[in-house]
Structure 1
């Protein structure tokens, strides 16, 4: 198999989507925005694991799972720049891997809305999943990807690609679910105004700010085409 020209790992919620679907469910169906923000603060300060905070969030959502999916389809918008970016990657031997702490059925449903069923089949999704607790799916719970305190340690799916002579590796993220992956690639894209930047500043993790996938597209394309060095794209080098 031909080695990819680059590999782009991307968070899903708040990165490819404009809103975080899990936050949307928690804020509108679950215990609300105030408690959610408090849990995020505790995670950022190292006083609570992401796994425990996320589990508490989703347990507060009392709605059948299929209704959750429909609610999100109706309200969560996707970054319009991602469809064009994905088209470019598929034509230029760039691999895209969605790495998410969200649940696979929700990701597939929303991604299909954006790029279509055929494209979804070609995008690898590494995420948590869902388990129905009754035949109708009225009661459900998240199934975590691994036993780590993240629930899904995103670094684990990146490490196998960190071999000698590997192509450029990129990670795109926005929040507390991305902390485990922030140090694992050649360039981290961190979304403007979000918690991931707060953490990177505190921990002195190099990153480049992005507002939309149009920014990411421009940067990745310039590296693949050899017009820009990755090190020149890092805005915050510490």
Structure 2
């Protein structure tokens, strides 16, 4: 009975792929983290932001609370935030080629973000084009106005978390239904990320890509989570292509730091 309903419950299965690529957005698909950029330039600045990230990494605070504090320090209207981000956030240099290869080879890309969907869609449309942005499944948090205000006035917007977890968006909840499929139906699962918003996803897939020099590498080494580092998506592209073509196993690819 379950298999006939799976494509609806699990959208990435609709083309019957043998591989699915889950990925973070900020600092992974992009070269900069849009939320960090806003906090550093419009909010309470890099020192408090970095302290919050460290507190999350070492278990002293939930990501949910630290991230809300970051965003609540930003008073700039939402439309002006998006304009600023369009001018300053750039795409990972290897992502467009990987995106096009993945579409040609039936490897669905699912964006799992601790950020906010309206920002992600606006940036992807700006960087990849509207059609490409619309083609991607994005699971993220939302934005709403504060009581009595419009999101496009000073102090007018706030984050709406995806779920009630300590992450605000527990990415593992999206991945696990795929991971628990019967062996004959289950695709190989990848995940790429860089920071503290990715901790919930780190142990859920067959191969984890962790951005070199970032907090996710520290977490993986501390928790003995197998991973491969990457500098940009050209590294990911090469490894995933080899696995898809049967030249490499996902287990052998988990080589840790390069």
CA contact (8 A) 1:10 1:96 kept: yes
Per the TM alignment, residue 185 of structure 1 is displaced from its structure 2 partner at its CA by 0.1
CA RMSD of aligned residues (A): 1.1
Number of the residue aligned with 1:113? 126
Number of the residue aligned with 1:145? 162
Cα displacement string for residues 145-195 of structure 1 (whole angstroms, at most 9, x for unaligned residues) = 000000000000001111123111000000000000000000000000000
Q: Does 1:226 align with 2:243?
A: no
* Whole-Å separation in 2 of the counterparts to 1:214 and 1:112: 21
Per the TM alignment, residue 54 of structure 1 is displaced from its structure 2 partner at its CA by 0.1
Number of the residue aligned with 1:35? 48
Structure 1: unaligned runs, 5 residues or longer: none
Structure 1 consecutive aligned stretches of length 4 or more whose deviation exceeds 3 Å: none
* Whole-Å separation in 1 of the counterparts to 2:110 and 2:230: 18
User: Normalised by the size of structure 2, how large is the TM-score?
Assistant: 0.90
CA contact (8 A) 1:5 1:92 kept: no
User: Normalised by the size of structure 1, how large is the TM-score?
Assistant: 0.97
Structure 2: unaligned runs, 5 residues or longer: 1-13
Q: Does 1:188 align with 2:208?
A: yes
Per the TM alignment, residue 45 of structure 1 is displaced from its structure 2 partner at its CA by 1.2
* Whole-Å separation in 2 of the counterparts to 1:158 and 1:80: 26
* Whole-Å separation in 2 of the counterparts to 1:41 and 1:227: 38
Matched length: 237
* Whole-Å separation in 1 of the counterparts to 2:45 and 2:27: 18
3-state secondary structure, aligned to 1:181: coil
